[in-house]
């Protein structure tokens, strides 16, 4: 029978003394102390020569501490603000997704919660009394749309350069119409035709140019229109067009775009 062996405790070996490392440590410590002493002496001499520097150094030290502390607070506030903005953006996106209408349903106004108004549709009426100039333009556009024109637009307004209604005729020509809602006693003069003739072909690139009015035309205006190839639709012709008993403006056009341009240039 063998006797159990006892564990032998580890022998604590003492670290050997290194003279070189100890000397280097003390040399480095001496250098650091010398540098600190020289710095303190220079500061003391400077303060002794100029006592105001002591106050400046104190102010700079306080300002540096405050700036460091403030920078830490600003960084924390910026992180909090960024987190709040991110949360708000997520909530807004969720609300927009919830407001998205299902396919085939009318679009709801996100603020008022009401159905958005549909685009204004033109209506053809038998009479034109009591209309505003804008309503008259829409009525003429309605006639064009009723008679097969496509891409009908009411473009009248400031800076329209004489074009109130533009469209494509059933045979593919571009028609440009200027509307004059005048009283029967106020006839369209040659100046109106000249202004329209200067832009309808060259600026608006019309194949057919027409001036439609509820009134009538003066003789010089009709003469100028014939020279430039502009179709004149007075009140009587307008009623016939409305009732379907008279020609449409593009049916009375004397020529295409090239001829109209040449005539307009010669007439002006």
For residues 253 and 226, what is the distance between their CA atoms, to the nearest angstrom? 10
- CB 216, CB 238: distance < 8 Å: no
The order of strands in the sheet holding 208-213 is 150-154, 165-168, 174-180, 208-213, 230-233
Please report, in tens digits, the pLDDT of each residue of the chain (268 residues total): 555 555 555 545 555 667 777 888 888 888 888 888 888 787 777 667 766 666 666 777 677 667 666 665 666 766 776 777 677 667 766 666 665 555 444 433 433 343 333 344 555 555 788 889 999 999 999 999 999 999 999 987 766 788 899 999 999 999 999 999 998 889 999 999 999 998 999 899 999 999 999 999 999 999 999 999 999 999 999 999 999 999 999 998 875 444 444 444 444 4
Look up the pTM and report it. 0.51
Residues 6+ apart with CB under 8 A from 48: none
């Amino acid at each position: 029978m063998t006797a159990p062996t006892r564990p032998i405790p580890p022998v604590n070996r003492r670290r050997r003394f290194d003279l070189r490392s100890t000397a280097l440590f003390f040399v480095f410590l001496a250098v650091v102390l010398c540098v600190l002493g020289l710095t303190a002496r220079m500061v003391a001499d400077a303060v002794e020569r100029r006592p105001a520097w002591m106050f400046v150094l104190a102010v700079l030290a306080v300002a540096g501490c405050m700036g460091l502390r403030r920078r830490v607070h600003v960084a924390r506030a910026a992180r909090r603000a960024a987190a709040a903005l991110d949360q708000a953006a997520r909530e807004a996106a969720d609300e927009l997704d919830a407001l998205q209408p299902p396919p085939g349903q009318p679009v709801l106004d996100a603020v008022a919660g009401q159905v958005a108004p549909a685009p204004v549709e033109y209506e053809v009426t038998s009479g034109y009394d009591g209309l505003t100039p804008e309503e008259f333009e829409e009525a003429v556009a309605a006639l064009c749309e009723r008679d097969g024109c496509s891409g009908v637009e009411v473009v009248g307004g400031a800076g329209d350069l004489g074009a109130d209604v533009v469209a494509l005729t059933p045979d593919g020509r571009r028609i440009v119409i200027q509307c004059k809602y005048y009283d029967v006693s106020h006839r369209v003069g040659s100046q109106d035709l000249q202004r329209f003739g200067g832009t309808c072909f060259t600026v608006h690139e019309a194949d057919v140019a027409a001036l439609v009015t509820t009134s009538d035309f003066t003789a010089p205006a009709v003469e100028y229109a014939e020279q430039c190839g502009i179709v004149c639709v007075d009140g009587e012709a307008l009623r016939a067009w409305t009732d379907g008993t008279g020609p449409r403006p593009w049916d009375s056009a004397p020529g295409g775009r090239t001829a109209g341009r040449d005539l307009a240039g010669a007439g002006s």
